[in-house]
Structure 1
Amino acid sequence: MTSTLVDPESVPVEVRPYLEELVRRTRAVCEPHLVSVFAVGSIALADYRHGRSDVDVTVVAGPALPGRAVRQMAKVLAHPALPCPAAGLELVIYDSEFAKRPSVAAGYSLNLNTGPLLPSRADFDPKRSPAFWHVIDRSIAHQSGRLLYGSPVRQVVAAPHDRDLYAAILASVREHADGVGHLSDNQVLNGCRSVAFCRTGRWLAKRNAARLITQTEEAFRPLIEAALDSFERPRSSAVPLPAADVRTFLSWVADRIEIEAIAR
């Protein structure tokens, strides 16, 4: 049977059949308006961990895609109508005219969260969602998006402007510092990834970013190593980290990003 994926070997074997079916359903609903489907997040950065990671997918479609098709996508891809083998699916649909230009807006026509470990959400109004995560995801997509179907990622998604991206990164760190809805190991590792981006200009996998930061920040090494140990566990078995230490670390991260943002 012919694969629906551009390169099946480029995605983790644990989610390959799922992504095959996701692309098949997306094509059935969205063609002839479909432009691209690609993976971002841990799959794009080659750090997917089964039982821990979400599957992050971006769909880009032409501006003539009917609203009824967008709503149908939310139905046909929702867990358990399409059983998600990962912790969850986070999927967004962008209009191709929006996606090809740098923007600080969320800009989606659908923001779908679904899966066994994610609260279900199908949002059609981009004003209801913080924009910074979408800015960061589009930056990761432009750098490393893993094409599943259609036109090459860099032809359809623009990278955000540097100043806008650093503002989004800072907003993400502040949101993680609030702690609501976040595992403490992920708070720390997201902070590491943010600082690593400031230092290298590239998005690294969270574990690689954490190892980079431990090489120079001895004071935070025990906390980061504890976060790495917890990150190796399934999401349901994550180990809480000392809240005060996490706050101190994220305050340091925010300071580093603010300095970099001013320089931009």
Structure 2
Amino acid sequence: MTRTLADPHSVPTELRPYLQEVVHRTHALCGSHLVSVIAVGSVALGDYRHGRSDTDVTVVVDASLPGRALSDLATALAHPALPCPAAGLELVVYDADFTARPSGAAGYLLDLNTGPALPDRVSFDPTRSPAFWYVIDRSVAHQAGRVLYGRPARAVIAEPARPDLLTAIRASISEHSEGEGHLADNRVLNGCRSVHFCRTGRWPAKRRAAEAVAASEERFRPLVRAALRSYERPRAAATALPTTDVQAFLAWVAACVDETVAADRRE
């Protein structure tokens, strides 16, 4: 068994002991069936903010992993049995045969949310979850995933096909437009990230994407900068943003995605 991260300096100092223990417990339960443990989300994109960000982890296993190992893993990693120093842990386990191919499906074996600021969730049925979260996360993993253990992200996680990815982005905007369960600043910054992807084909850190949108879109500059200021605060201290302004911004983001889809179809 291992307690050593592949590259400890690739993750924030505040998370190193915790992620080492995540790797250790995952390896202890999966053994030779474990292919990779990969940091995604804000850690992968170099924008982790302690006290605000989740830590997102993708685990890839081979198809012969015994089913009971998944429930044992969910128990072993649950907060507070393993105290999470971040706002929460969002961990997804996939079969290596599934991640090796582009897919627009959720496709997970286990989806675990746990931590001091997250509602607990354990799911073993991908048909019960909206696919878009997982499609976007796999794209981030393919482009920027930081290996904590095992094989490189690009070697085990295929980039989703662009039409599937744009469909996922459009669905994520609809989810954020509803607003329930999402901080207003995060809704705006995720919208900025979606626009940046449509313009460049790359996933940036949220704050970098927001700075780019603020620079290019004068009408939304005050809102985006207010969202950036709020994002510097802990979750509990996030500031309110005008609902009508947020909705107008997200409608513009949705139109940007729709225009990208239309342009792709013309090519």
Q: TM-score range by the shorter chain?
A: over 0.9
3-state SS of the aligned residue for 2:122?
A: strand
- Residue aligning to 1:121: 121
In 2, the alpha carbon distance for the partners of 1:78 and 1:118 equals: 11
Instruction: Say whether residues 1:174 and 2:157 are aligned partners.
Output: no
For 2:70, the aligned partner's letter is V
1:93-112 alignment to 2 at 5 Å? 93-112=93-112
CA distance in 2, matches of 1:35, 1:55: 20
Distance 2:10 2:86 in 1: 17
Q: 1:52-99 deviations in whole A, cap 9, x for unaligned?
A: 000000000000011100110100000001000000000000000001
1:259 aligns with 2:253: no
What CA distance in whole angstroms lies between the structure 1 residues aligned with 2:119 and 2:126?
Answer: 18
Superposed CA offset, 1:142-199 (max 9, x none):
0000000001111100000011101100100110000010000000000000001111
Counterpart CA distance in 2 for 1:17 and 1:90 is 17
Runs of 4+ in structure 1 over 6 Å off: none
Q: Residues of 1 paired with 2:70 and 2:99: CA distance?
A: 16
How far apart are residue 3 of structure 1 and its match? Answer: 5.2
Structure 2 residue 137 is matched with structure 1 residue 137: yes
The structural deviation recorded for 1:262 is 1.8
Contact 2:186 2:231 in 1 (8 A): yes
Separation in structure 2 between the aligned mates of residue 237 and residue 153 of structure 1, nearest angstrom: 35
2:158: which partner in 1?
Answer: 158
Match of 1:78 in 2: 78
Query: Aligned pair 1:189/2:189, yes or no?
Result: yes
User: In the alignment, what sits opposite 1:246?
Assistant: 246
TM-score, with structure 1 as normaliser: 0.99
Match in the other structure for 1:215: 215
Residue number in structure 2 paired with 1:92: 92
- Contact 2:3–2:24 under 8 Å retained in 1: no
- Rounded to whole Å, the distance in 2 between the matches of 1:12 and 1:149 is 16
| Percentage of identical aligned residues | 65
The CA distance in 1 between the partners of 2:201 and 2:3, in whole Å, is 35
SS in 1 for 2:110: strand
Q: Aligned partners of 2:102, 2:173: CA distance in 1, in Å?
A: 21
Contact 2:93–2:111 at 8 Å: present in 1 too? yes
Q: Give 5+ residue unaligned stretches, structure 1.
A: none
Q: 1:58 matched to which residue of 2?
A: 58
Aligned to 1:10: 10
Give the superposition deviation at 1:32. 1.1
Give the alignment's Cα RMSD to 1 decimal: 0.8
User: C-alpha distance in 2, partners of 1:24/1:166?
Assistant: 36
Find the residue that maps to 2:187 and give its secondary structure: helix
Take 1:29 and 1:162, find their aligned partners in 2: how far apart are those partners? Answer: 35
